[in-house]
Amino acid sequence: MMQSVIPAIYPILKTSYSLSFGQIGLITLTFQLTASILQPVVGLYTDARPTPYSLAMGMGFTFCGVLLLSVAPSFPMILAAVAFTGIGSSVFHPESSRIARMASGGRHGLAQSLFQVGGNTGSSLGPLLAAFVVLPRGQRSIAWFSAAALLAILILSRVGAWYRRHLAERAKSRAASAEPVLRLSARKVKLSLAVLVALIFSKYIYLVSLSSYYTFYLMKRFHLSVGSAQIHLFLFLGAVAAGTFFGGPIGDRIGRRYVIWCSILGVLPFTLALPHANLFWTGILTVIIGLILASAFSAILVYAQELVPGRVGMISGLFFGLAFGVAGIGAALLGRMADAFGIEFVYRVCAFLPAIGFLTAFLPNIEPRRL
């Protein structure tokens, strides 16, 4: 929720600080890179030495970032504020993903979906909070969200205590908690991970085109007000939250490879139609795109965790980091493209990204082996 306020207030920042689309993209790049670079390192470290209280520590960085953003006097200070928020994310995600898997009772897809739908639900609230809190009261009202960060620190301290007790219990019965071993060659595992990285690229470049620039697209093409555009963004992000939830349990039931097929490639007809739709169908299509495309990530993450057993933290950090990093680089490039060719051109180009979903054909079907 707190992180989503950043892109939601882009129209406010653009007007207040006279920013270009390129500078808006740089804000997203700063957040996404700081949220991604540390994640694989943190995950690799915690695979060897689990750190239960890193969750509360990560939220502490976010708390500092929110406060700084509310009083930032200049563009460089805005970048510093979003960097703090990004660091908090990079510390939080690897261990939190491990806890979700640990608490799953074997339903790993469902657990990851529940975990991620919390994040996506919070993200969908960002535009509403911007429209009804930040817009009427100004940038300083962002400081109110620091209360949520303090509450989260208290909750995560309790979760960390549970995690520490659970680690002690698992140490007494390691055989029962051992990961299944897949008999795939190292070359096949590397090829599969490369395909998953390409799919992450496709998914998150397209998603960031909507999360960062959708309001500007609606205001430019259909002449909507900032508030109306934020409502449309909320509907899209709400659809993303719903799609995230369904991807995991469906993957548990029918296989994650099939979910990846349908969620990446299946969205292609809708992305191709979006740049040519009127306002009504634009709203409908973005909801459909959010529902289908968002279902991929939990399936991709659990599939990768099962490709590399025993490295839950590293894989979680790597893929969360890739998601944030790819989105950040994409936002910066798309911002430059929007400055050069117009915001509508961005959506005509991005419409073809889901075609990368054809690479799913190279993924092995590991479900029978896993079972």
What whole-number distance in Å separates Cα of residue 31 and Cα of residue 81?
A: 9
Residues contacting 367, CB < 8 A, separation 6+ = 255, 256, 257
Residues contacting 289, CB < 8 A, separation 6+ = 206, 210, 236, 239, 267, 270, 271, 274
Per the structure, the complete domain to which residue 11 belongs is given by 5-172+182-370
pLDDT one digit per residue (tens) for the chain, 371 residues: 887 778 778 878 888 888 888 888 888 888 877 877 778 888 888 787 877 888 898 899 999 998 998 888 889 999 999 999 888 888 888 888 888 888 888 888 888 888 887 877 787 777 777 778 877 887 788 888 888 889 999 999 999 888 888 877 776 665 444 555 556 788 889 999 999 999 999 998 999 898 888 989 999 999 998 888 888 988 998 888 788 888 778 888 888 888 899 889 999 999 999 999 999 999 999 999 999 998 888 888 888 888 888 788 788 888 877 877 787 788 878 988 998 999 999 999 999 999 999 999 999 887 654 44
Residues contacting 137, CB < 8 A, separation 6+ = none
pLDDT value for 183: 67
Domain membership of residue 329 (yes or no) is yes
Residue 35's CB is within 10 A of a number of other CB atoms, namely 28
pLDDT value for 218: 93
Domain membership of residue 177 (yes or no) is no
pLDDT value for 171: 67
CATH code, 260: 1.20.1250.20
Task: Give me the DSSP letters along 147-167.
Answer: HHHHHHHHHHHHHHHHHHHHH
What whole-number distance in Å separates Cα of residue 269 and Cα of residue 295?
A: 17
Q: What does pTM read for this prediction?
A: 0.71
In degrees, to the nearest 5, what angle opens at C-alpha 15 toward C-alphas 13 and 16?
A: 65
What tokens appear for 153 in the block?
Answer: 């620190």
What whole-number distance in Å separates Cα of residue 303 and Cα of residue 256?
A: 6
What tokens appear for 33 in the block?
Answer: 């890179």
Domain membership of residue 360 (yes or no) is yes
Q: How many Å separate Cα 286 from the centre of its chain?
A: 17
Nearest to 208, CA basis, from 43, 368, 7: 7
Task: Give me the DSSP letters along 331-352.
Answer: HHHHHHHHHHH-HHHHHHHHTT
Tally of domains within the chain: 1
What tokens appear for 277 in the block?
Answer: 């739709």
What whole-number distance in Å separates Cα of residue 210 and Cα of residue 290?
A: 10
Nearest to 294, CA basis, from 334, 245, 240: 240
Domain membership of residue 267 (yes or no) is yes
Residue 277, class by beta-carbon neighbours within 10 Å (0-12 exposed, 13-18 middle, 19+ buried)? middle
Which residue blocks in 17-74 are alpha helix, DSSP H?
A: 21-48, 54-71
Residues contacting 215, CB < 8 A, separation 6+ = 10, 11, 127, 226, 229, 230, 232, 233
pLDDT value for 371: 44
What whole-number distance in Å separates Cα of residue 16 and Cα of residue 145?
A: 20
User: What HEC string does 187-251 produce?
Assistant: HHHHHHHHHHHHHHHHHHHHHHHHHHHHHHHHHHHCCCCHHHHHHHHHHHHHHHHHHHHHHHHHH
